[in-house]
Amino acid sequence: MLESVDRAGDLTEFRERLLLALQSWFGFTGVAVLHGDSLGEAIREGCGIQGGYTSEFIAEYAARWIDMDPLRGEGVIEMLRARGVIRLSEVPEATPFLTDFLRPNGIGDKAATLVDGGPAGVLYVGVAVADSPRVTERDVAVLHALRRHLAPLVADQLARDRERRDATANWRLTPREWEVADLAARGLTNRQIAERLFIGVDTVKKHLSRVLAETACTSRTQLAVRFTAA
């Protein structure tokens, strides 16, 4: 798996390869790979991608549960900073979220992993399991090993991504707008972008309109050319 992500050409490809590897090689039902300057920013701003969740699950989460997600709370974030890997099933305040939302949607438990990229920022990896009410000890051990091995790769990818953004600083894009622009430039449809970023299609359209205006592009094709050159 490390060889696969090590061959990634940029942060977007790195996230995609990591997500697919965690799903196909370790069998996790849902995976989120998020990043930011800090752990709180990575989780709350949600820059990155997710996969394995249905559109209905995403809509219900956004409409009813996002503010009750324990992983967005400072207490659980601090726990993750201290431990590196945590399971929702071992967090007392996560019980309603598990029993009333995740498990009725076929998810038994989730684990969160922090990968420290040093001055370049952090990577957050969230995984869900469907066949057990608790992420196994083996999976926790795998995630601990993974965070150690991924750290230098994450530091490199985050640093290179920051350099790329700095080179286009005249584009006054928010982190979310940059994510939308990058995926649109790679050919994803609005619905595919929405599913990847855990947001609504209408939100994608608003972000994309702002991106096209800010980058002085008149089409997705032109945007793709400009992003390739950046």
Does residue 27 fall inside a structural domain? yes
Give me the mean pLDDT over the 16-24 stretch.
92
Query: pLDDT for 135-155, tens place per residue?
Result: 999 999 999 999 999 999 999
- 123 and 15 in a common domain: yes
- 121 and 53 in a common domain: yes
* 191 CB-near residues (< 8 Å, 6+ apart): 201
- 69 and 143 in a common domain: yes
- 181 and 125 in a common domain: no
- Please tell me the pTM assigned to this model: 0.84
Please, which pLDDT band fits residue 168 given cuts at 50, 70 and 90?
A: low
Please, which pLDDT band fits residue 19 given cuts at 50, 70 and 90?
A: very high
Does residue 155 fall inside a structural domain? yes
- CATH number, domain with residue 69: 3.30.450.40
Tokens at residue 122, please?
A: 């952090």
Q: Is the pLDDT of residue 87 over 70?
A: yes
Which pLDDT score is estimated for 156?
A: 95
Q: Could you list the residue range(s) of the whole structural domain that residue 184 is in? A: 175-229
Distance (Å, whole) CA 122 – CA 42: 7
Does residue 53 fall inside a structural domain? yes
Please, which pLDDT band fits residue 169 given cuts at 50, 70 and 90?
A: low
- 191 and 92 in a common domain: no
Which pLDDT score is estimated for 217?
A: 87
Domain boundary among 135, 164, 193: 164
- CATH number, domain with residue 216: 1.10.10.10
Distance (Å, whole) CA 27 – CA 20: 10
Distance (Å, whole) CA 5 – CA 21: 9
Give me the mean pLDDT over the 76-99 stretch.
95
- 149 and 38 in a common domain: yes
- 96 and 33 in a common domain: yes
Does residue 113 fall inside a structural domain? yes
Q: Is the pLDDT of residue 63 over 90?
A: no
- 122 and 14 in a common domain: yes
Tokens at residue 179, please?
A: 């994510």
Q: Are 214 and 172 in contact (CB under 8 A)?
A: yes
| Side chain identity, residue 132 | S
Does residue 121 fall inside a structural domain? yes
Does residue 169 fall inside a structural domain? no
Does residue 170 fall inside a structural domain? no
- 179 and 199 in a common domain: yes
Q: Is the pLDDT of residue 159 over 80?
A: yes
Backbone CA torsion sign across 52, 131, 108, 139:
negative
Domain boundary among 114, 134, 164: 164
Give me the mean pLDDT over the 50-55 stretch.
88
Contacts of 128-132 with C-beta under 8 Å, sequence gap 24+, read 128/28, 128/29, 128/30, 128/31, 128/52, 128/102, 129/28, 129/29, 130/29, 130/106, 132/108
Domain boundary among 139, 164, 189: 164
Does residue 118 fall inside a structural domain? yes
- 223 and 118 in a common domain: no
Give me the mean pLDDT over the 104-121 stretch.
96
Which pLDDT score is estimated for 230?
A: 63
Q: Is the pLDDT of residue 50 over 70?
A: yes
Give me the mean pLDDT over the 99-119 stretch.
96
Instruction: Tell me how many domains the chain contains.
Output: 2
- 69 and 16 in a common domain: yes
- 180 and 156 in a common domain: no
